[in-house]
Amino acid sequence: MSGKEITLIVDGREVAATEGEMLHDAAKRGDVEIPVFCYEPKLGEPVGACRMCLVEIEGIPKLQTSCSTPVRDGMVVHTRTDQVKHAQSAVVEFLLVNHPLDCPVCDKGGECPLQDITMGWGPGKTRFTDDKRHFQKPIELSPLVAIDRERCLHCYRFVRFSQEVAEDEQLQLLERGDRTFVGTFDDRPYVAPFHGNITDLCPVGALTNYTYRFRARPWDVEQAGSVCTLCPSQCNVSFTVRDEQVKRVVARDNPDVDDGWLCDRGRYGFEMFAAEERVTEPRLKGAAGGADWQAAIEKAAAGLKAAGVGKVAAIVGDASNEEGYLVQRIMREALDSENVAAGRAYGILRHDLVDISQPALSARVRDIDAADAILVIGTDPLHDSPILDLRIRKAVRRNGTKLAVATERPTTLDGGADAAVRYIPNATGAFLDDLVKSLSGSGDGESHFGADASQIADVLRDAEKVVVVWGENVAWGDGRGLLALAEALNIAEHDGAGMLEVPELANARGLREVGCMPEAGPGLSQRLGGMGVAGIRDGLQSGEIESLILFGVDPIRDFPNTARWKSALAAADHVVCFSMFENKTTALADVVFPLESHAEKDGTITHPDGRLQRVRPSASRPGDIRPNWGILAELSLALGFDTGISSQPSAFAALAGEVPFYAGITDGDIGGRGIRWQEGPAAAAFPTRPEPSGDPVELVFENEPGETTYTEARSYDLDVSTYRDLWVGPITELNPPLRFLSPRQTLELSPGDAERLKLEGGDEVTVSQNGSTIRARVAVRERMRDGTGFLIEGTASDNANALPDLAGTIAAKIAKVGE
Amino acid sequence: MQMPETRVLLKHAEDPELRTLAGYKRYDGYGALEKAYRQMEAEEVLKELEDSGLRGRGGAGFSMGKKASFLPRGEMQKYLCCNADESEPGAFKDRELMQRNPHQLIEGIAIAALAADAGHAFIFIRGEYDLQADILDAAVAEAYEAGYLGENILGTRRDLELVVHRGAGAYICGEETALLDALEGKRGNPRLKPPFPAVQGLYGGPTLINNVETLSNVPRIVAHGAEWFRGFGTEQSPGTKVVSVSGCVQRPGNYEVELGVPTRELIYELAGGPGGGREVKAFYPGGSSSPVLTAEEGLDLPYSFEDMAAAGSMLGSGSIIVADDSVSIPHMALRTARFYHHESCGKCTPCREGTNWTVKMLERMVHGEATPMDLDIVASVQENIIGHCLCVLGDSMAMPVGAMVRKFRGEFEQVMAEAGTAVAA
């Protein structure tokens, strides 16, 4: 957009607008509503199909569609003349010719743009007396979405979503004229990770969610704005609540976070809130049924107190800032232990985090849209932070942004990337070193570690606004490579350039900043001596740790090396587990406390780009679940330490008082859209980077993998690494609508490896290492590296975490089942 | 004495050898191409085309030279598309031009591509024109072989790639932007304009789209000059026109005449008029999408763009369909509406629903199931379509059907009453 400010006249009033924007949008800001069905700027260029927005523009004889007419200075527009009214009324009449008007049984009734526009702009009665067209109704477009083709207005919205936003290209208009209908090739189900968005886009009841059909009317429900905490995207959502239960989740447009889209996990995941496996009351080991709250808290406190000094630890996973803050206070202040960590196994060191998180290096999500180039490194956004996948696609499609992808495993973004390379798992640091050298022109042009960094460097070299989307693992243990990359790309110097982390935990940034790190307290203040997750595990086995709090984590399922975790938990004297669901970890716990879902919780979280967002209680808590902050405050009291926290606001006030760069941010500032602390009143209070020492740092990589060559003498078949799949976990297993997506264990191989191991797609194999064996089905994938296979972490059976980890990769034996 | 044709485009059309390169060259074929490529600058060719006043023969009648001049100058990928998707009821002139004289079209494309600075050209031919497409394929191969197409044409370091693309059978793909979508491999739906194809057309590049007959005129304009061309036809409609005459005439066919000849002579003298002593009742002057003219309105008008427009109709593609006094106008309206209902792409509301509704009402009228209100509703629905659609297809039904209801209201009432009586009995 050119950005020039102009003035036009709409219905006699002056409207200020930006040259080139569409007349419909300019008029809207001037408080003139022009009705539309097909127009939706998020879907790209206007199509002008519905013809609802015809208006009169002086100097142009024919009526024009305001959705596709860019405004000019001095333009004079009329939207309520007889000619315009006549045309708009005619279009409504035409739209109703084949619309079944089955409003009384239509789920859209009451929140239907067609109803509203018919009332506002339509003729009020019909002259059409012939038969309407008929289709079978409704039919399954997918297992989650029903399509009623009779109701369709042919607005092209969902076709455009499929083709220009999700880019899955599955939806098409078939046939033509008034026989046109929306469908898929060969009537195959439309299965794609973002497909639920089409139900939000549909301006009639043609597309409805099976999870919401006939559940409620708009006047039965309340819309409660909150934030989805199922992944680090932290999309803004509205919960549709009836009788205090969530019946539907819809996207709540926030261009700074989600651009108005929502993935199917976030949309359809809510039925697990009512799963049978839900923990709905406190429970003590060995006791049948639930426990009294007071007894459970006393028991938990007694077990923690019984441990020797410093022999307690806490691991935090799914938690709000307030919850994480309270857990670390219990550890540090009530139990005098620094052993508090967040995550699964590894972590980022405090000084690296301080370096990488400097506001000058931080990217906003919005920066993706206007970037000259994007580097995706060490993450597949589709699995790790799905909505970023759409955001990056949008930049490439709409803005012509260059895209470079450097990962261990193929990503869904490879197809649209200018360069995509695969490096050896755990060689990220070495790859970064190559990339930095290549960017500065000092590389030797050879490709180490299997990936050609110069291809990536070529895409990034001349770009100014570079956004680096990096997976947390890139900085595990050593963030210097990432920092060197930021410097090589001059990120601090360019507005709109920045680093954006894709962490493993949904609220990883918030948890670190409120002090859930073994070497950092609230505000990333330096602390010394705590153990990380792996250290805690080993400590449990060796007796260094006797008592443990697990908050929103399931180590037996989600952490590497299941066997060691099982024995670690068995060796613990006392385990207090806060969990939403009963699982193999809660089965080993001495005290289990229920956790709230994100529809029930009140608290704040921090987006990976620094945006503080508010999770609001929207639905009632099932059973005897209580607010988590309250349980933690009471547990602290029972341990003899008064946190002084008596409400959620007081919890936030207390943490904001301890995190210097959160200071001064109020609930009101956070509001419904959140606020980045970097743009808040106390951003300057972020810890400063230590002065660099005079000597250049020589990067040394442990376990530096040499050129890998495969010889007959190898004692194993394949290096196997693991990834976290979008559909793994309770989201599919405990949630009936998504159960069909629950993945089976799959061994992904390159075509070369498949040939070498004489395997084909679909073969059943066993993958073994050091006595542990799991079964998997083979999938041969292009764009994989030879020599590296992938398994899925956290599957319900044959979990890859059962294989012992050896420096992150698994040297595995592969055998075909039955041979 | 029968009025003579003025054969320019169809000159030597009776010679079956004309379709071969050797036959075409016997009549100075590719002389204009050599002149344009060797002796003229692109701007000179463009100016010659503008000066000739050649108007598009596909329907809209827009100045061909002016359209070509809208393409931006400068280094970029530009395209030329020849619209050979001749699908309108009543039109069959392009078929004959391609079948009898394919090299004339290829030469015209090569010269127009020079003027428009296009490096890639396509002939989008309707899929049913199988014979003509085969003939074009053979002629294009000959032209490549002879160095009139391909790289470094006649040693002038200019390149032109020409591809014959067969359509898959949709009238809408004759709409220029739908043609572009279809050519790109998408569903053939019209695009919003602006941007116009001259600015953003095929694959997003500037694109010149012209009809077969328009491009077939180009070689002779370049060979003989704009002044020579203006020696034919009228001031506002220069040149000759191949007119397809069909319907109730004794000698249906293509006739090439100077624009501005009396319509009556075209229908009666060249095409032989209605047989059996019947008289012309009405006719479509420019294909099935032009508003019908009654005999009184239209027969004595000069057959030109301006005179047909002044009479409230249009010359369109230059296809006359004649209805004599034995033809039932309501049935003719139904037949017309059915065609457009069948061919509506369904993208925009008024066309998709309006064509469907109109057909349903007209069917009830001729079947005696209409109410007296329906005639007013049909007329009103046509008005509600006109000017409200994304492309001109909706108008193409609404204008002729609206004109028929307006001009033959009495006949509609009579047919409705008679059919109603028959149903009641």
Residue of A48, A91, A129 with shortest CB distance to B192: A48
> Of the candidates B350, B373, B380, which has its C-beta nearest A51's C-beta?
B350
Confidence of residue B188 (pLDDT cuts 50, 70, 90): very high
CB contact under 8 A, B356 and A156: no
Contact assignment for A94 to B353 by CB distance below 8 Å: yes
Q: What is the pLDDT of residues B372-396, one digit of tens each?
A: 899 999 999 999 999 999 999 999 9
DSSP E strand boundaries for A607-739: 611-615, 675-676, 718-723
What's the complex ipTM? 0.95
Q: Which residues are within 8 A (CB) of A761 and not within 5 positions of it... i.e. 6 or more apart?
A: A754, A778, A779, A780
Q: What was the pLDDT predicted at A442?
A: 76
Phi/psi of residue B302, each to 5°?
A: -65, 145
Which H helix or E strand runs over B48?
Answer: helix B42-52
User: Rounded to an integer, what distance in angstroms lies between the CA atom of residue A181 and that of residue A137?
Assistant: 13
User: Residue B352 is nearest to which of A93, A154, A172, comparing CB atoms?
Assistant: A154
> What is the rounded CA–CA span in Å between residue A578 and residue A565?
17
CATH class of A5-80: alpha beta
The domains of chain B are located at 16-230, 240-324, 329-424
Q: How far is A143 from chain B (nearest CA, A)?
A: 27
Strands, DSSP E only, in B267-415? 280-284, 293-294, 302-303, 319-324
Q: Which residues of B touch A181 (CB under 8 A)?
A: none
B155 half-sphere exposure, CB direction, 13 A CA radius: 2
- Give the range among A651-655, A782-786, B282-286, B310-314 with minimum mean pLDDT: A782-786
**What is the CATH architecture assignment of A350-502?**
3-Layer(aba) Sandwich (3.40)
Neighbours of A626 (CB within 10 A): 16
Q: What is the pLDDT of residue A808?
A: 56
3-state secondary structure (DSSP) of residue A638: helix
A125 chain-B contacts, CB cut-off 8 A: none
How far does A561 lie from chain B, in Å, by closest CA? 51
- Label residue A391 left, alpha or beta by phi (over 0 means left) and psi (-120 to 50 means alpha): alpha
Of A51, A131, A176, nearest to B349 by CB-CB distance is A51
* Chain B contact residues (CB < 8 Å to A): 170, 172, 187, 192, 341-350, 352-357, 360-361, 364, 371, 373, 377, 380, 384, 387-390
Domain range A718-816, CATH architecture: Beta Barrel (2.40)
A46 touches chain B (CB under 8 A): yes
Fold of the domain built from segment(s) A285-344+507-685? Rossmann fold (3.40.50)
CA dist B165 and B163 (Å) reads 6
CATH architecture, domain B329-424: Up-down Bundle (1.20)
Q: What is the pTM of this model?
A: 0.92
- From A192's Cα to the closest Cα of chain B, the distance in A is 22
Is A54 touching B (CB cutoff 8 A)?
yes
How far is it, in rounded angstroms, from Cα A749 to Cα A761?
A: 9
A42 Cβ contact list (under 8 Å, min separation 6): A165, A259, A260, A261
Nearest to A87 among B341, B380, B388 (CB): B388
Q: Delimit the CATH 3.30.70.20 region(s) of chain A.
A: 133-274
Question: Which residues in chain A (622-661) have CB-CB distances under 8 A to chain B?
Answer: none
- What is the least distance, in Å, from the CA of B342 to any CA of chain A? 7
Interval B44-60: pLDDT, tens: 999 999 999 999 999 88
Alpha-carbon distances of A149 from A133, A158, A179, A204, A630, rounded to whole Å = 10, 13, 10, 11, 50
Chosen CATH of A133-274 out of 3.40.470.10, 3.10.450.50, 3.30.70.20, 3.20.20.80: 3.30.70.20
Give the pLDDT of residue A528: 84
Would you state the pLDDT for residue A699?
Answer: 37
Q: How far is Cα B286 from Cα B61, in angstroms, rounded to an integer? A: 11
Q: Is B346 within 8 Å of A176 when comparing Cβ atoms?
A: yes
Q: What is the pLDDT of residue A688?
A: 87
CA distance B256 to chain A (A): 35
Residue A223 contacts residue A252 (beta carbons within 8 Å): no
The answer to whether B97 and B84 have CB atoms below 8 angstroms apart is no
**Binned average pLDDT, 10 residues per bin, chain A of 819 residues:** 84 94 95 96 94 96 96 96 97 97 95 97 93 93 96 95 94 93 93 95 96 94 96 97 96 96 96 96 90 96 94 97 98 96 90 94 97 97 97 96 96 96 88 92 65 91 96 92 95 96 97 96 92 94 96 95 94 97 96 97 97 96 96 97 95 96 93 95 89 45 36 64 94 94 95 94 90 92 92 94 70 78
CA distance A36 to chain B (A): 12
Q: Count of A–B CB contacts within 8 Å?
A: 96
With CB atoms and an 8 Å threshold, state whether B346 touches A50: no
Q: B394 CA to chain A: closest CA distance, Å?
A: 11
Mean pLDDT of chain B: 95
Q: Does domain B240-324 have CATH number 2.60.120.10?
A: no
Record the tokens describing residue A665, joined without a space: 């941010």
* Interface touch B349/A91, C-beta < 8 Å: yes
pLDDT, tens digit (0-9, with 9 covering 90-100), for B233-247: 999 999 999 999 999
CATH architecture classification, B16-230: 3-Layer(aba) Sandwich (3.40)
Whether residue B347 and residue A156 make contact (CB cut-off 8 A), yes or no, is yes
Strand ranges (DSSP E) for A136-195?
139-140, 145-147, 171-174, 181-184
Which one of A68, A86, A177 has the shortest CB-CB distance to B344?
A177
Angle between helices A453-460 and A428-439 (to 10 degrees): 50
Say if the Cβ atoms of A94 and B390 lie within 8 Å. no
